[in-house]
Chains A and B, each alone.
Chain A
Amino acid sequence: MFLVALPGFHLIPRISSIVPESCLLIVVGLLIGGLMKLVGEDPPVLKSDIFFLYLLPPIILDAGYFLPIRPFTENLGTILMFAVVGTLWNSFFIGGLLYGVCQLEGVHLAQVDLLSCLLFGSIISAVDPVAVLAVFEEIHINELLHILVFGESLLNDAVTVVLYHLFEEYSSVGTITVSDVFLGIVCFLVVSLGGIVVGAIYGLLAAFTSRFTSHTRVIEPLFVFVYSYMAYLSAEVFHLSGIMAHDQLSVLVQFDSRLIACGAVTRPYVEANISHKSHTTIKYFLKMWSSVSDTLIFIFLGVSTVAGPHRWNWTFVIVTVILCLVARVLGVVGLTFVINKFRIVKLTTKDQFIVAYGGLRGAIAFSLAYLLKPEHFPMRNMFLTAIITVIFFTVFVQGMTIRPLVDLLAVKKKQETKRSINEEIHTQFLDHLLTGIEDICGHYGHHHWKDKLNRFNKKYVKKCLIAGERSKEPQLIAFYHKMEMKQAIELVESGGGAKLPSALPSTVSMQCVFSRISSASATLKITCSSPVWKVPYEMSHTFRNIQPKKPAQDRALPQLSKAREEEIRKILRTNLQRTRQRLRSYNRHTLVADPYEDGWNEILIKRKKMIELEKKMNNYLTVPAPAPDSPTVTRARLASDPQAWGSKSVAESIPTIKVDLASPQSAETFSVMDESCKKTTKEEDPGLTMKVPAPASKDGKEKPAAESEEDKEPGLKLLRCLSDPGPAGAEEEDEPFLP
């Protein structure tokens, strides 16, 4: 049923702008639960083991894999403070005050003892990563805040669980001694740090394995998942000493830290090793699993609300809700005051507000409460009810209002612009500079250690874990290539015009600057180096068809209205899709055969064919032979849209595309079939291929091997781009191919 609800939800954009997805899912769950009750069946409750063993791990793994490491480590101190101290504060504050309230005369709750209250406090004070992710993803706030709240939610599980154990264990015994507290702290450290270490080991193992998988590309993604799962499973082996009675919970904490560590550690190495198809597979699988888990969790929450045993007590519930809010605000403000003394980039009041407001509770709290044994805790049902209320409150009220609040307070949003090469260079330069200054001062600051770690990483670890030449590739170069290829792909996607003059000599990185484009309105500057991205013919064809519709085209002013560009891109995208459907049937083997691993000869042959084809195309199509003006103008026009090249500032809207192809092995042959284009020529190549001809470089072979890697990238990326319609693509149907 949620399958129905989900697309339905997306079709009603108005709702989605007000109501975060999580809310709607809970509502759906409520409906389902209600229905089931009506029917007379017993709706399933979110059992804790299902939750912890099956539903939570994919989300955590996803979070760990895509964790932005740099901001995370830069803010680690702050995050830890919030996670550990903040959670402690919350638990004790809530627990203590609740106890006080319960002791009041008129409340009739005198049987709730201190330990139970504290336990309850500890359960409810945990900020929940699932809820936070669900809501924060939609509001796109800036990276710092996102990582703060999210990091906190990931790391505070350990604290919560230790507290939980502590209180639960000793509420049955009746007293807590100092040594128990001490043991609890030790446990916490062992469990979390141990978990991280083990997870990291598994991550490294996965990376190591991926080094050797060049022949088995299909199952590469599997390795990543297998190792993560193993990290996860082997937690069972780690039974801690008697203080951890509940294996499930200690396992939870270990899971979290393991999975996060495994994912975060694996990623940089694995990504360097595996093919791009595998990379895409991993990415989409992780996203898919975590989305499914996410959805299920919220729905189950809804169902459990209807199903679960309840005991409503007005005072308790309301006091709880209020106390949660108050505790959170006080905690955040107090902690920030202390933290800001140590931070260079201070947290402003706005930031604090968002951090406090973003402390959403979720299913983890519910499951922890569910684990309570009714024998020990007669108040369990009341706790459950209160927790559910708090969850609902935070998710619905806070979740819904956070977006308008973010807008109202003009909180800095996530930067939509891509990282430019300037930034990268500057960041690296700064790192070196600051390390140097620290050395001069004789001060072993954190730059120093970071630098040492990087050096160690480069020297030893990368050599082990990354296959072949990539291990020597400096980060800057890798980044640079990624950027270039991205832009090249965008260029190709947006199509337009025929090829560039390929008569340019074939040395690497020739530049042709079309300065005629730098006119009044759009200062676009496109640099293209030799060869030449052969534009998909249907795209150019389509574009030419669209052209006549536009009135008064001023060639020198390449400004398309946004709507127009959207339309064009839609058309182009659907065109690609159509032709893709005609792809000849593939089996597992052709899917895997990476064209780069084909012989050089094939590439040459294909290239020749393409050239011939092109000649014929040029004759057929009415557009004159490419003057330097037109292709670039058209390209400029189309290229001016992509979101990342937003309208923010002029400097940022300079797309520079440089295609750096040096080595013979570069050519990935694609040629787009345009069935409806009445071409007379036929390509024998299968379905969807687009060609990147390699320069006829005699000196190409002399280039070092590093460049062949670099060149494999463009084609692979192209392949990925073309084979990957993306989520939006699927929904855009109904566009006639050509008018």
Chain B
Amino acid sequence: MFESCGCKTMGSTNSTLLKIPNAEELMQETGFSASHIVRLYDRFTSLDKEGRGYLCPQDFGAIKELAINPIRDRIIGAFFSPGKETADFQTFVRILAHFRPVDKDRTKEPEPINSRSNKLRYKDGNISREELLKVLRDMLGMQVTEEQLESIADRTIQEADLDRDGAISFEEFRKVSLEKVNIDHKMSIRFLR
């Protein structure tokens, strides 16, 4: 696995660490180690080309590989809380912390699931049919017809929707996905350990 950020010696790590606001807090909160924080900070600054100290959606859009990802808008959207147009380093790190591999002694198990369904959710906390349709449309693109999409969405909802309210609540989602797909484990990126 290679990283596009270079290696740093301990000395420069420390000095970079000092530059980062609230580094200690962040480390505590997210569980990242100092070197991780530094790496992420490097990445953050390299994305933030104009050196403003925060990121906006265009910066994310500039990432080449992300551009071809079907759900990039959702991913980018997750970094920005509703209403805000900027993401500072804290937010950046916090969101990425969701993808840390889960250890037994960490208390953050619900977090990964949360962020996953966050990316699908409506504000009221449910995944509605329209949301699902949107996601499917993103993923499948122009290759399928509307009807097919609709039938898939309907079927998905039927399978998961236990209280038959036409939408998938967080609980139902957990049940269906966690049991079978084991999202905890799947949703981790080793790099971020």
Interface residues, chain A, with chain B CB atoms under 8 Å away: 342, 344-345, 415, 417, 419-423, 425-430, 432-448, 455, 472-474, 476-477, 480, 484, 507-509, 511, 518, 525, 527, 529, 649-651, 654, 656, 658, 660, 662, 703-704, 706-707, 710
28 pairs of residues in contact across A and B, judged by CB atoms under 8 Å: A342-B190, A344-B185, A420-B159, A420-B180, A421-B159, A422-B160, A426-B177, A427-B186, A430-B186, A433-B119, A434-B186, A436-B75, A437-B75, A437-B96, A440-B47, A442-B4, A444-B1, A474-B141, A474-B143, A509-B147, A509-B151, A649-B175, A651-B175, A658-B151, A658-B154, A660-B147, A662-B147, A704-B145
Which residues of chain B are near A484, meaning CB under 8 Å? 155
Q: Which residue of A lies closest to B115 (CB)?
A: A433
- Is there a chain A Cβ closer than 8 Å to B22's Cβ? no
B155 and A421 within 8 A (CB): yes
A703 and B191 within 8 A (CB): no
B152 and A480 within 8 A (CB): yes
A706 and B66 within 8 A (CB): no
B159 and A651 within 8 A (CB): yes
Complex: A508 Cα to B144 Cα, angstroms: 13
Q: A434-B186, A480-B148 known; 10 other A-B pairs, CB under 8 Å?
A: A429-B71, A430-B186, A433-B187, A436-B72, A472-B143, A476-B140, A509-B150, A650-B162, A654-B159, A660-B147
A656 and B147 within 8 A (CB): no
Instruction: From known contacts A426-B183, A440-B66, infer whether A703 and B145 are also in contact, taking CB-CB under 8 Å.
Output: yes
Complex: A525 Cα to B69 Cα, angstroms: 35
B69 and A706 within 8 A (CB): no
Interface residues, chain B, with chain A CB atoms under 8 Å away: 1-5, 40, 43, 46-47, 60, 63, 65-66, 68-72, 75, 96, 99, 101, 116, 119-120, 135-136, 139-141, 143-145, 147-148, 150-152, 154-156, 158-160, 162, 164, 172, 175-177, 179-183, 185-192
Complex: A472 Cα to B148 Cα, angstroms: 15
Interface of B is mostly: helix
Complex: A525 Cα to B155 Cα, angstroms: 11
Contact of B66 among A436, A477, A527, A703 (CB under 8 A): A436
Q: How distant is A444 from chain B, measured CB to nearest CB, in Å?
A: 6
Which residues of chain A are near B177, meaning CB under 8 Å? 422-423, 426
Instruction: From known contacts A438-B189, A441-B96, infer whether A707 and B145 are also in contact, taking CB-CB under 8 Å.
Output: yes
A439 and B65 within 8 A (CB): yes
Complex: A376 Cα to B182 Cα, angstroms: 55
Contact of B140 among A438, A474, A650 (CB under 8 A): A474
B148 and A477 within 8 A (CB): yes
Which residues of chain B are near A472, meaning CB under 8 Å? 143
Which residues of chain A are near B154, meaning CB under 8 Å? 509, 511, 527, 658
Q: Which residue of A lies closest to B179 (CB)?
A: A649
Which residues of chain A are near B40, meaning CB under 8 Å? 441
B151 and A660 within 8 A (CB): yes
Which residues of chain A are near B187, meaning CB under 8 Å? 430, 433-434
Complex: A438 Cα to B96 Cα, angstroms: 10
Which residues of chain B are near A430, meaning CB under 8 Å? 116, 181, 183, 186-187
B189 and A443 within 8 A (CB): yes
Complex: A342 Cα to B186 Cα, angstroms: 14
A442 and B188 within 8 A (CB): no
Contact of A476 among B43, B96, B139 (CB under 8 A): B139
Q: How distant is A544 from chain B, measured CB to nearest CB, in Å?
A: 29
Complex: A529 Cα to B40 Cα, angstroms: 51
B158 and A656 within 8 A (CB): yes
Complex: A419 Cα to B181 Cα, angstroms: 10
Q: How distant is B54 from chain A, measured CB to nearest CB, in Å?
A: 15
Complex: A371 Cα to B151 Cα, angstroms: 60
For the complex of A and B, the 5 pairs showing the least CB-CB separation, nearest first, are A509-B151, A439-B65, A442-B4, A436-B75, A508-B147
B60 and A440 within 8 A (CB): yes
Q: How distant is B156 from chain A, measured CB to nearest CB, in Å?
A: 5
A476 and B152 within 8 A (CB): yes
Complex: A333 Cα to B176 Cα, angstroms: 34
A432 and B139 within 8 A (CB): yes
Q: Which residue of A lies closest to B146 (CB)?
A: A508
Which residues of chain B are near A649, meaning CB under 8 Å? 175, 179
Complex: A732 Cα to B75 Cα, angstroms: 55
Complex: A703 Cα to B147 Cα, angstroms: 10
Contact of A443 among B147, B159, B191 (CB under 8 A): B191
Q: Which residue of A lies closest to B147 (CB)?
A: A508
B3 and A443 within 8 A (CB): yes
Complex: A491 Cα to B12 Cα, angstroms: 67
B65 and A651 within 8 A (CB): no
Q: How distant is B120 from chain A, measured CB to nearest CB, in Å?
A: 8
Candidate in A423, A437, A474, A529 with the most chain B CB atoms within 10 angstroms: A437
A422 and B2 within 8 A (CB): no
Contact of B159 among A436, A448, A656 (CB under 8 A): A656
Complex: A440 Cα to B70 Cα, angstroms: 14
Q: How distant is B135 from chain A, measured CB to nearest CB, in Å?
A: 7
Which residues of chain A are near B175, meaning CB under 8 Å? 649, 651
Which residues of chain B are near A442, meaning CB under 8 Å? 3-5, 43, 46
Candidate in B75, B155, B185 with the most chain A CB atoms within 10 angstroms: B155
A660 and B70 within 8 A (CB): no
Q: Which residue of B lies closest to A662 (CB)?
A: B147
Complex: A710 Cα to B148 Cα, angstroms: 10
A426 and B181 within 8 A (CB): yes
Complex: A529 Cα to B152 Cα, angstroms: 13
Complex: A474 Cα to B177 Cα, angstroms: 22
Instruction: From known contacts A422-B177, A432-B69, infer whether A344 and B159 are also in contact, taking CB-CB under 8 Å.
Output: no
Candidate in A420, A425, A507, A656 with the most chain B CB atoms within 10 angstroms: A425
Complex: A345 Cα to B190 Cα, angstroms: 11
B140 and A448 within 8 A (CB): no
Q: Which residue of B lies closest to A479 (CB)?
A: B152
Q: Which residue of B lies closest to A446 (CB)?
A: B1
Which residues of chain A are near B65, meaning CB under 8 Å? 435, 439, 448
Which residues of chain A are near B120, meaning CB under 8 Å? 429
B158 and A525 within 8 A (CB): yes
Q: How distant is B144 from chain A, measured CB to nearest CB, in Å?
A: 6
Complex: A14 Cα to B156 Cα, angstroms: 42
Contact of A440 among B5, B75, B179 (CB under 8 A): B75
Contact of A425 among B136, B150, B186 (CB under 8 A): B136
Which residues of chain B are near A441, meaning CB under 8 Å? 40, 43, 96, 189, 191-192
Q: How distant is B190 from chain A, measured CB to nearest CB, in Å?
A: 7
Which residues of chain A are near B70, meaning CB under 8 Å? 432
Q: Which residue of B lies closest to A443 (CB)?
A: B191
Which residues of chain A are near B96, meaning CB under 8 Å? 437, 440-441
Instruction: From known contacts A429-B139, A447-B189, infer whether A434 and B99 are also in contact, taking CB-CB under 8 Å.
Output: yes
B160 and A434 within 8 A (CB): no
A436 and B145 within 8 A (CB): no
Q: How distant is B119 from chain A, measured CB to nearest CB, in Å?
A: 7
Candidate in B144, B152, B176, B188 with the most chain A CB atoms within 10 angstroms: B152
Q: Which residue of A lies closest to B40 (CB)?
A: A441
Candidate in B3, B46, B65, B183 with the most chain A CB atoms within 10 angstroms: B65
Which residues of chain B are near A342, meaning CB under 8 Å? 190
A656 and B4 within 8 A (CB): no
Instruction: From known contacts A344-B188, A439-B66, A508-B147, infer whether A658 and B155 are also in contact, taking CB-CB under 8 Å.
Output: yes
B190 and A344 within 8 A (CB): yes
Q: How distant is B38 from chain A, measured CB to nearest CB, in Å?
A: 13
A445 and B190 within 8 A (CB): yes
Complex: A476 Cα to B116 Cα, angstroms: 19
Complex: A507 Cα to B158 Cα, angstroms: 20
Candidate in B69, B185, B187 with the most chain A CB atoms within 10 angstroms: B69
B190 and A444 within 8 A (CB): no
